[in-house]
Amino acid sequence: MGAGKTTLGERVAARLGRPFVDLDAEVERRTGRTIPELFAVGEQVFRAAEQEAALEVLGRREPVVLALGGGAVLTPEIRRAVEAHAFTVVLDVDVAEAWRRVEGSDRPLARDRGRFEALYAEREPLYEAIADAAARDEEGILLAAAGIHVGVGALELLGMLVPGDGDAELVMDARVAGIYGMEAQLALGARGRGTHEVPPGEEAKSVGVAERLWRALRLERRGTLVAVGGGCTTDVAGFVAATYLRGIPWVSVPTTLVGQVDAGIGGKTGIDLPEGKNLVGAFHWPVRTVIDPALLATLPEAQVAEGMAEVVKTGLLAGSPLWELPRHDLVRACAAFKAAVCLQDPHDRGPRNQLNLGHTFAHALEAAAGYGGELTHGRAVALGLLAALRLSGLDTRVVEEVLRPQKARVDRDRAWAALTRDKKVEGGVPKLVLLEAPGRPRIGVELPAADVRAALDSLIA
Ligand SMILES: NC(=O)c1ccc[n+]([C@@H]2O[C@H](COP(=O)([O-])OP(=O)(O)OC[C@H]3O[C@@H](n4cnc5c(N)ncnc54)[C@H](O)[C@@H]3O)[C@@H](O)[C@H]2O)c1
């Protein structure tokens, strides 16, 4: 009571694109009586109506976000249904704060502070027993639902954060292993069964490296692969986890800004082929993502700049200047945003497309430049965001000020040819992600080819 279940539940449901059900409101709707009226007849009458409503909602095929009444867990049938059908987040709220919120309301069980505190103490162990995770705010709920733990010092807790108690093997790129290898191994403790190194950078995302890992792994199916590194490491290790023994659990521990706000989240894994980037892969959601923003302290500035391009993209999609936040808050907010979009559309069939904002242009420029040159992905995304904002008729200042994009030195015809070959192109007309306004993405926008070409040309020196 007073934890904020209804307010936060509504917002989380909107972020996940799911219906929201407030159990108390549902009981009132079904019985045609208010909660105080039902309690006036007797608490058992209310609990029976509550049980019936809860079991119906929890048994639905379509997923919903359900705010349980504070006392719903007292009913064993509801507890069992919750355990069987729901991912449950308990809202962590101080008893004094909860009382301040409900004091003077018409809630039947919140008329007396002593009684309220006793109820809180009585119910707390039940909440703890039933909860899969705890959270205090909207971002916390979204992160918990996606299996993401964000916190300074999280690397040290790795042994506890890797679910289960089976063996774990580490995959790290050689540079990251040199800095954090010992700490990660110590954190895994007796569960650790060794470390496999992969080359730093895009070189890791090859069939050769994947094959080496498949052959070196000794894990059984209940073992867990733990990938510690940038997006290249998590991409290849996640893909190996998706395919080894037909799929084993994996934990993603992103150590770059790109990884912590983007690549380490959402379950897309993959490797490159000589024919192109990310051509082979799988959707394989990590059983946990462990984000320790303190690991960014050793990241070279150039890599931070790569990540900032994705941060600005996320802020534009979220409609909030996330790039202005202190580093740790920025990571948490961006991770929660990406998690929500991916939970809404895990297989990239609709809303997740918004994450391609600016990327159609970026990929075209990178392809024309030949990957691995001076036009890094982050620089290309900065330019792509510029084009997307221009075509959306929006202010481009933020991209100019935060990312300072430099025009690309590439061949215009090659870039255009690459853009019209992009995966999102149907019938030669590029489909773009644009913004109606910050926070309001439009997916699959078709514009006249001449306008798109002009926008692309404006990015080229
Ligand atoms: N799966 C997805 O959803 C997704 C999303 C975005 C990008 N990606 C992929 O991510 C890759 C790029 O990831 P990236 O930018 O993290 O590059 P990366 O993995 O190559 O890491 C960049 C460099 O930083 C070093 N490094 C990593 N963490 C460090 C730390 N804490 N301190 C010091 N050095 C550190 C690495 O050794 C490497 O040299 C691309 O292949 C891209 O396709 C995937």
How much is the mean pLDDT over the chain?
Answer: 94
Q: What is the mean pLDDT of residues 408-436?
A: 85
Q: Is the pLDDT of residue 424 over 60?
A: no
Choosing from 176, 198, 209 the residue with most ligand 1 atoms within 8 A of its CB, the one to mutate for a pocket test is 176
Q: Is the pLDDT of residue 284 over 60?
A: yes
> If pLDDT is split at 50, 70 and 90, which confidence band does 103 have?
confident
How far, in Å, is the centroid of ligand 1 from the Cα of 427?
A: 33
Choosing from 209, 239, 258 the residue with most ligand 1 atoms within 8 A of its CB, the one to mutate for a pocket test is 258
How far, in Å, is the centroid of ligand 1 from the Cα of 323?
A: 19
Residue 307 CA: which ligand 1 atom is closest? 15
Question: What's the confidence (pLDDT) of residue 337?
Answer: 98
What CA–CA distances, in Å, run from 378 to 5, 148, 375, 404?
Answer: 39, 24, 8, 11
Question: What's the confidence (pLDDT) of residue 61?
Answer: 93
CB proximity list for 7: less than 8 A, separation 6 or greater: none
Q: What is the mean pLDDT of residues 396-415?
A: 96
How far, in Å, is the centroid of ligand 1 from the Cα of 79?
A: 42
> If pLDDT is split at 50, 70 and 90, which confidence band does 201 have?
very high
How far, in Å, is the centroid of ligand 1 from the Cα of 230?
A: 3
How far, in Å, is the centroid of ligand 1 from the Cα of 357?
A: 19
Residue 281 CA: which ligand 1 atom is closest? 1
Q: Whose CA is nearest to atom 3 of ligand 1?
A: 263
Q: Count CB neighbours of 279 within 10 A.
A: 11
Amino acid at 56: E
Nearest-Å Rg of the Cα atoms of the chain is 25
CA distance 63 to 163: 24
Question: What's the confidence (pLDDT) of residue 425?
Answer: 62
- Read off the pLDDT of residues 226-248 as tens digits, 9 standing for 90 and up: 999 999 999 999 999 999 999 99
Question: What's the confidence (pLDDT) of residue 389?
Answer: 98
Question: What's the confidence (pLDDT) of residue 427?
Answer: 63
CB proximity list for 355: less than 8 A, separation 6 or greater: 262, 313, 317, 338, 341
Ligand 1 binding residues, C-beta < 6 A: 173, 175-176, 179, 200-202, 205, 229-233, 235, 255-256, 258-259, 262-263, 266, 268, 278, 295, 298-299, 303, 306
Q: Which helix (H) or strand (E) holds 97?
A: helix 95-102
How far, in Å, is the centroid of ligand 1 from the Cα of 361?
A: 21
CA distance 163 to 223: 10
The residue with tokens 């790569």 is: 306
CB proximity list for 57: less than 8 A, separation 6 or greater: 21, 23, 26, 64, 66
Question: What's the confidence (pLDDT) of residue 423?
Answer: 58
Q: What is the mean pLDDT of residues 404-414?
A: 96
Residue 257, both tokens: 């800004």
> What are residue 128's phi and psi, to 5 degrees?
-60, -40
| Entry pTM | 0.94
How far, in Å, is the centroid of ligand 1 from the Cα of 176?
A: 10
Q: Whose CA is nearest to atom 34 of ligand 1?
A: 299
> If pLDDT is split at 50, 70 and 90, which confidence band does 422 have?
low
- Read off the pLDDT of residues 29-56 as tens digits, 9 standing for 90 and up: 999 999 999 999 999 999 999 999 999 9
